[in-house]
Amino acid sequence: MVEFGKALSVVETPIPGLVVFELPVHGDARGWFKENWQREKMTALGLPDFGPVQNNISFNDTAGTTRGIHAEPWDKWVSVATGRIFGAWVDLREGPTFGAVFTTELDPSRAIFVPRGVGNSYQTLEPDTAYTYLVNDHWSPDASYSFLNLADETVAIDWPIPLADVQISPKDLAHPRLADVTPIAPKKVLVLGAGGQLGLALRAELGDAPHIEYATRAEIDLATDDLRTARRWRDYDTIINAAAYTAVDAAETVEGRRVAWASNVTAVTSLAAIAAESGITLVHVSSDYVFDGTSPGAYSEDAPLCPLGVYGQTKAAGDAVVGALPRHYIIRTSWVIGEGGNFVRTMASLAERGVDPKVVDDQVGRLTFTTDIARAIRHLLSSRAPYGTYNVTGAGDPASWADISRAVFALTGHDPQRVTGVSTEEYYATAAGPVAPRPRNSVLDLSKIEATGWRVPVASVSLAEYLAG
């Protein structure tokens, strides 16, 4: 008997992500009506915006028809149209809740959201029972599935109608016991630009778990026409794009401008299209060069973009593309230092070789180390921080490039007074080729990422640790 008049509400279960919804059903002498799936109302109550692409119906003639236990690599929304079912769900995902069980009855006034990797099974309690399920992926022979025997003694499901008395397919009868089940692995994380300085830091931070993949440009070319078929993208949860064109001066040349737009805009647009189509979170790394540097204070995440040069223009365009995605993190950073040749190592080498450099003293900002960017990305993903743009730099007092050079000299045991500060115009007066305009103020406000619980490392401390290491 359908229960009328319930308010839309949520019932949590012991299995993470498995959620029962009580549905309002409106009825009279003619029959009844319900909103079976209503995106706005249900996401407001915590239902993931899971993006269904297919609607299936299972009709069962007799009471006792039993199906399962099947775990698929997609999410599903299960609801009853007519009749009544007993449902049993077993967590078959890798992790601490593997083997956890939840059972309940479903009728037209109750539905359930089943997350990817949770095994589901249903036993009809009335004849002529029909239930529907919305899924957010299409069936594929290349997808990974797991199955559990309905009679497994470990999970010990208390079936209302004994399994000996019901109809079960031979295939379901042959499924393995829990000890022999292959767990569903987490969705994959793909790091692009794995050979660059940020890519190397991400590899050190994220490690080599089976579900984390790293790819260089040689392994995945974002400009190729078959990018959409290069992977089964529905198996991915996150793409971290650590690849970019960063030669700011070369971007002012004809060839450099072409490559900068291809790498920083066209390639990012291709990634964004894949992310939108497959429900993937896209992590995109941005730059202080999207600003003109004329602000008297630190730039917040929502400050108007106003790039000066070609590189900054391409980064701003990439930000606009990624910012339109429902699931995105834009990591805006500045003055990045990582493995390989960089400003800090150059200053340390000059100090050691007895060279007294002239260094720009009218550009102000904070250093950001790639190890800290990698940690911040991991923090945002693991804490499920709200999607959006986050400034990520070192903390502490802003400094000029000349100030940082003097700090490097001092930390390596040399006289910091050997560094002479000069203006940007003086420094580049004898440059042989095009010079990109630089923002004079590259200080980014860090309060937004601090509010997520991220402890921002102090740039001067990170510099000392970098040189000591």
| Catalytically annotated residues | 70, 133
C-beta atoms surrounding 283 within 10 Å = 24
Per the structure block, which two tokens stand in for 78? Answer: 């299960």
- Alpha helix segments (H runs only) across 207-309: 254-261, 267-278
Q: Of 153, 155, 209, which Cα lies nearest the Cα of 185?
A: 209
* Distant-in-sequence, close-in-space partners of 34: CB < 8 Å, separation ≥ 6: 23, 24, 25, 26, 108, 109
Collapse the DSSP code of 206 into the 3-class scheme (helix H, G, I; strand E, B; otherwise coil) and give the result: helix
Collapse the DSSP code of 138 into the 3-class scheme (helix H, G, I; strand E, B; otherwise coil) and give the result: coil
Distance CA 152, CA 98 (A): 14
Pairing between β-strand 188-192 and β-strand 212-215 as defined by DSSP bridges = parallel
Distance CA 421, CA 399 (A): 12
Q: Of 344, 336, 345, which Cα lies nearest the Cα of 374?
A: 336
Per the structure block, which two tokens stand in for 422? Answer: 């000069």
C-beta atoms surrounding 453 within 10 Å = 9
Distance CA 428, CA 248 (A): 14
- Cα torsion 321, 325, 328, 332: sign: positive
* CB-neighbour burial class of residue 24 (10 A; exposed 0-12, middle 13-18, buried 19+): middle
Distance CA 365, CA 218 (A): 34
Distance CA 327, CA 323 (A): 9
* CB-neighbour burial class of residue 407 (10 A; exposed 0-12, middle 13-18, buried 19+): buried
Distance CA 330, CA 343 (A): 24
